[in-house]
Amino acid sequence: MNTLHTLNASAREHGDLFARLLRSATAGDTLLLLENGVYNLSDANALQAIADAGLTLFALQADIVARGLAAAGAAANSVDDDGFVALACSHRKVVSWFA
């Protein structure tokens, strides 16, 4: 089974963290954006880099709504807290990329 990566920061503010995540992830892994990580949904360059890395993208719905990003949220599969737990359980391990 693949790895679930979680990211809580924007690529604009924490470019090094974002770049290291992309270097360490394997195509076919899953990326879940949470907290300020959902701002990446409004960043075309970040979305392209995630797609180029072959990652399946999810984002935490409450964090999207809280930040008024519902329109941009369509760029990812959105999950609630139960969905977060389900993702954690369906992957072999979770790697947290936190600023």
Cα separation values, 55 from 1, 67, 82, Å = 14, 23, 21
Give the one residue of 10, 13, 16, 58 binding other proteins; rule: CB under 8 A: 16
- What is the distance between the alpha carbons of residues 56 and 44, in angstroms, rounded to a whole number? 16
Note whether 17 binds other proteins by CB under 8 A: yes
With respect to other proteins, which residue has the nearer C-beta, 14 or 78?
14
Q: Which of 23, 68, 82, 89 touches other proteins by CB under 8 A? A: 23
Q: What angle do CA 19, 25, 27 make, to 5 degrees?
A: 120
CB of 91 to other proteins, least distance (A): 12
